[in-house]
Structure 1
Amino acid sequence: MANFFRRSKKMEVYSFADGKVKDLVLVPDQVFSQGHVGRGIAVVPTDSLITSPVDAKVAMIFPTRHALGLVCSSGVEIMLHIGIDTVELKGEGFEVLVKEGQQVKVGQPLLNVDFDYIASKGLPTDCLCIMTSPLSDGVVEYTQSNDDEVIKGETVLFRFKQ
């Protein structure tokens, strides 16, 4: 009965790219599509700029610049992963616009990505926003469906902590 009166906290996550929503189960990488890393959303981008989906601290930038980790003040951890198998590009086609330890706001530019270059290498350009925090401490609600068009700053999902 005590849980009935407990207030749940809601966290909004915003689109980090302009493009078309793609359900994670459709992403051509089983680690992501089967939820092994966490829950989230993918966007097939239509422009080169990737922005922050939340207010957070940049906790980690992968040496190959294809992914970065964000930590929100609430402790929620988010990973942005740009493209599939793009680690193979060894940083080519990625321009990082932030530094580790930097505080960022929703919509702040994080990366500039040459998606034409990624596609020319035969790699999918799907960009993923994954909540890597333990799944047992909250519920994720999606506000967009597969094939919906989104623009940066539009709400794409909520995370509720019970």
Structure 2
Amino acid sequence: MLKKLFGKKSVEEQIVAPISGKVVSLDEVPDPVFSQRMMGDGVAIEPTNGEVVSPVDGEIVQLFPTNHAVGIKTKSGVEVLVHIGLETVAMEGEGFEGHITTGDQVKAGDKLVTFDTALVEEKAKSTITPIVITNYDDIVESFEPTYSETANAGETHIIKLQTK
């Protein structure tokens, strides 16, 4: 009823892989914050390189000072977090380079961050990269992840969702 009164319509969002690699369930992420979906639902990618691109068209709402995580908000209000590796915040930005700033408008496939995969493998817990819808409970009506052995950054659809 409220949707009809205020004209808010359900929107389908397609989220593409922000990094090339194998797409896996969050259940496989060796960190309970992600595997127990404390931050929201999504998927994870075991990366094959160190280039992260935007998974959606939207606005950069958060770039962590260490460049290890980026938050993007779509026009329909879906908030996507790309968290590069596990326990990478402890690297204090070493090996990470941000190519965007908070407030930037991006298109799916635009370069966000590059990182040294060998350095992350050496100094962090894992290179596995969770992609999470942080406002999942508030906005997602239906959610369809697509798991793939070979996702290509900026091209392969990894999540289809419908907003409430």
State TM-score, norm by structure 1. 0.90
Q: How does 1:49-128 map to 2 (within 5 A)?
A: 49-128=51-130
**C-alpha distance in 1 between matches for 2:33 and 2:24:** 15
Gaps of 5+ in 1: none
Q: Among residues 138, 141, 144, which one is paired with 2:144 in the alignment?
A: 141
- Contact 2:24/2:147 (8 A) holds in 1: no
Shift of the alpha carbon at 1:115?
A: 1.0
- Contact 2:97/2:115 (8 A) holds in 1: yes
State TM-score, norm by structure 2. 0.89
**C-alpha distance in 2 between matches for 1:8 and 1:98:** 29
SS at match of 1:156: strand
Instruction: Give the aligned partner of residue 22 of structure 1.
Output: 24
**C-alpha distance in 1 between matches for 2:138 and 2:102:** 28
**1:36-92 Cα deviation digits (max 9, x unpaired):** 000111111111110000001001111121111111111111111000000110000
Runs of 4+ in 1 over 3 A off after TM superposition: none
Instruction: Give the aligned partner of residue 14 of structure 2.
Output: 12
- RMSD across aligned positions (CA): 1.8
SS at match of 1:128: strand
Question: What is the number of equivalent residue pairs in this alignment?
Answer: 156
- Aligned identity (percent) is 35
Shift of the alpha carbon at 1:159?
A: 1.0
SS at match of 1:84: coil
Shift of the alpha carbon at 1:122?
A: 4.8
Shift of the alpha carbon at 1:9?
A: 2.4
